[in-house]
Amino acid sequence: MAVHIAAVLECKGDVSGQTVRGIKAHGKTDIYLFIILFLQPYILIVTLNACLIYIVCKNRSLHEPMYIFIANLSVNGIYGGTALLPHTLSKLATQSYDISLAKCLSQVRLKRTQVRYGLSLFLSVYLLIMPPLLNPVVYGSTALKNHIVILIKRAKLSPIS
């Protein structure tokens, strides 16, 4: 019972979509096994990230800079996973391997914004952490929550290009 996967994109003439070929399964049970193997980690990732976001939002003592960034990275993880995996699993379940060009481009756009938002968040963390580490006397007593809110809003509105 082996599932061989090799994604081959086929484009002919007028490009209005793509066909993914190369998924060779020995019956429907292999396809369902493949779907279950990808669906379980996806559900686990979404559930754990949602729990982390909920804990950070509800617990007032966790309203510190690093916990806020971790919660935003969890939002980014949920966004990125939801952008790609459910559509791919539905294509496998229906065994319809044709993907319209519009859906393909929307998935590319969603993954691209997820990566840019993640890089913007990491850059924000770097800009907030490095100055206090380099000069602890000046930055040791200042509250950085206002800077965090500004940097997170900037990261959400205009991710780096």
pLDDT at 158: 67
pLDDT at 144: 61
pTM comes to 0.66
Q: Mind listing the domains of the chain with CATH numbers?
A: 26-157 (1.20.1070.10)
Indicate whether 20 pLDDT > 60: no
Residue 12's pLDDT band (cuts 50, 70, 90):
very low
126: nearest Cα among 100, 99, 155:
155
